[in-house]
Structure 1
């Protein structure tokens, strides 16, 4: 959205809103009403809740906040307040039925597009560069990823389809890349649709470190399993080992072993685990244990971002590993274009100046860092987006940071500064990892 004329900005905003709604429709029109209203996992909302919540948030932020309109259905606001009702309770609420949820979301969208045609986009901060509209486009795409997670959790026949990614280009890549010591700029002050936890930009000085060129693959993770990785407590933190015992972790979620072959269930299909794909559906604890087994560690969030954004030739931080231009299909696996990660080593056009690949798309990457504010953080435009989740001084942190996005993330909701966070026990999310190591002299 940088450098666009007013007309181009309005067209770009409308395009992002329509693309998000097309994806939402695809994820909700492919199942019947029973599937929409069912709760496929206590970890997730019924799909029909997500559908109406998307419309409700759009009405709240754009029609009421920006447009000054009266509420359309104020009585439903509490039903779709994510903080008022945890996911496990939502099936018991008097939710809008599927037809009414669709009608409500469609009516809101029509009014929003009318509002977009006349609103001033160079006014107060909430409207500057169309931020409020960008917030809603990102919000809908984030819920689309959530709904895709629900589709993966649901039982039954496959209802989604997409072509498989291309094979990785031939050629052997180095196992790791050395990132030299020195400062870089983390976060942003210039990304127009960046969310509050990505701000402000600040200088970080890091010692030298090495980081994997590509995410950890299924084949590499299988070696960890076969070497007794799930039976040896020395590879695990005390909390991780206790969690492993409590829930009986023995392999990534959706994996089973039959006749000596690892299989996985993927969106209703059972297939052999592809050796060259990044490993997916592992907890932070599993990622940490693998890294320790491999004689390495998880990268910190700052290390990940330096490997992804810093250009040593110019000293500046890029928007994306490949530069400042928006992601294209040659750069990364994003937007549900495929329903799985691409093989490790894919997308040479998307590598960072240091030669690190697949930092954007394919799998969210667990980092070693707790979710905490940057120096000078200010909650905006509402504190519940980030601030309530931050680690508090003197208290154990609840959330670990993930970076980079997955194949399920839309480009509008993914950039080099974007921060995601979740509990370290979560593995229904599309999360994998890469490892790092300290250099002997730290320089």
Structure 2
């Protein structure tokens, strides 16, 4: 996901954009939910940084990414701005750091030259910010209509989501890092049936209107709002994400050498970068190998393909005689229940994700094999729409009809346009707080370091 700019602490959210609650949305006590979300994010932040020494934390492992020490203090700075100052009305812990940790002010490639806090200083800083943030959590008004920023704990949910998004970014930095493995996690369970490996099949989604987006999810971000009706023609969708095995057939058929399949900008990108396979893959004789968090292993054919750009996903779909789904098609497949006509929070229903529903939260450090998590299937029958890999769609990132920026334009609006493509569904590195049926991710179509894959679609009747 592209980075958000830090709004000034004096910025006032516009009236009328307050997040609204909805009857039947399971969430428990909102202050407890906010506290748990913040604590879960912080545990993960520390786990991703405490495993490395200072030299590794301050190094830039790729010009595409910030030094991990920058991310560590940046999440605290955002919390300082939004929870200590905006929500708590305080002076802030370190306002002098705002320019150092403003994501828009300094591009990632240039951040090693900033006067960053040392890792130990950053840990002390974010600890003090957190202490002050919990004081704000206890005192903030939560009643509807009092403060749109604090209503139902929106600002606390926004900050928890922001930290988890940076945690996923830091996980991507770990993948780019060279050196011995420092992260470990058990593998996800394989599906009972292996029939998904070679012929994963497709599901049918009937045409007609459905409700896209939300006006009731209390922690939904501005780009998910408002709810609106979209009429989607009938289409067929891959039942599971495209696998490594299927993608290898595209490679073996000369997919990277045939301009027919590529968007013109994608073909220029392939030639300039000399691409021949997903990022982190390499050929070893007759086998494809990959590097994964410090380990080298054979590419597992049954797993969803990952670390492919939008251009690569689009080219594969064209080669297969199909196309990428639109964002509306993806959301209808994931949320729409034809029996009730209601759009769910998640493919399986409205309850929060459990371990049997989806591969989320860095419980595992790889996607589950295709066909896993039958309990998380959507009404249409598609599996793994949530978790495992982000899924590229064909859609540009734009605002919904009636969109209003909240709490500041730089959160989403400045990214609208044809430069960014929408991804949906989350990955194994995405926390549940930042992953729901309406959640929208976006990135440049050349990006490959993110945990992104895809599935393909076709209009019913066999046409593209």
TM-score (norm 2): 0.92
Hey, what does 1:49 align to over in structure 2? 70
RMSD across aligned positions (CA): 1.5
Deviation at 1:118, TM superposition (A): 2.6
In structure 2, relative to structure 1, the CA distance for the partners of 1:255 and 1:63 (3 Å cut) is same
- Aligned residue number for residue 340 of structure 1: 366
Quote the Cα distance in structure 2 between the aligned partners of 1:313 and 1:113: 43
Report the equivalent of 1:360.
386
Is 2:178 aligned against 1:178? Answer: no
Q: Which has the higher mean CA deviation after the structures are superposed, 261-270 or 110-119?
A: 110-119
Summarize the Cα distance change of 1:7–1:202 in structure 2 as closer, same or farther, 3 Å threshold: closer
Supply the distance in 1 between the matched residues of 2:221 and 2:192 (Cα, whole angstroms): 35
Counterpart secondary structure, 1:263: strand
1:5 Cα deviation (Å)?
Answer: 11
SS at match of 1:79: coil
What residue ranges of structure 1 are gaps of 5+ in the alignment? 392-396
State the Cα distance separating 1:298 from its structure 2 match: 0.3
Which residue in 2 is equivalent to 1:394?
A: none
Matches of 1:270 and 1:164, distance apart in 2: 15
1:6–1:244 Cα change, 3 Å: closer
- Call closer, same or farther: CA 1:180–1:146 in 2, change over 3 Å: same
**Aligned counterpart in structure 2 of residue 372 of structure 1, from 391, 398, 406:** 398
Aligned partner of 1:200 in structure 2 is 226
SS of 1:271's equivalent in the other structure is strand
Count of residues in correspondence between the two structures = 437
Deviations, residues 54-74 of structure 1 (Å, cap 9, x unaligned): 000001001100111013222
Q: Deviations over 1:237-259 (max 9, x none)?
A: 11111110000110000000112
- Shift in alpha-carbon separation, 1:296–1:6, aligned structure 2, 3 A: closer
2:167 maps to 144
Q: Which residue does the alignment assign to 1:315?
A: 341
1:188 corresponds to 2:194: no
Alpha-carbon separation, structure 2, partners of 1:7 and 1:124: 21
Alignment of 1:113-152 (within 5 A): 113-122=134-143, 123-152=146-175
CA contact 2:26–2:351 (8 Å) conserved in 1? no
Dislocated runs of 4+, deviation >4 Å: 1-7
Deviations 1:6-25 (A, max 9, x none): 98221111111111000000
Conserved? CA contact 2:207–2:231, under 8 Å? yes
User: Which residue number corresponds to residue 325 of structure 1?
Assistant: 351
Structure 1 residues 151 and 389: CA distance shift in structure 2, 3 A: same
- Alignment gaps of 5+ in structure 2: 1-20
From 6, 12, 18, the counterpart of 2:33: 12
- Partners of 2:452 and 2:28 in 1: how far apart? 38
Separation in structure 2 between the aligned mates of residue 259 and residue 237 of structure 1, nearest angstrom:
30
Q: Is the 8 A contact 2:93 2:128 kept in 1?
A: no
Structure 2 Cα separation of the partners of residues 275 and 171 of structure 1: 11
State the alpha-carbon separation in 1 of the partners of residues 36 and 323 from structure 2: 41
Distance (whole Å) between structure 2 residues aligned to residue 76 and residue 185 of structure 1: 42
The 3-state SS of whatever aligns with 2:337 is: coil
SS of equivalent residue, structure 2 residue 30: helix
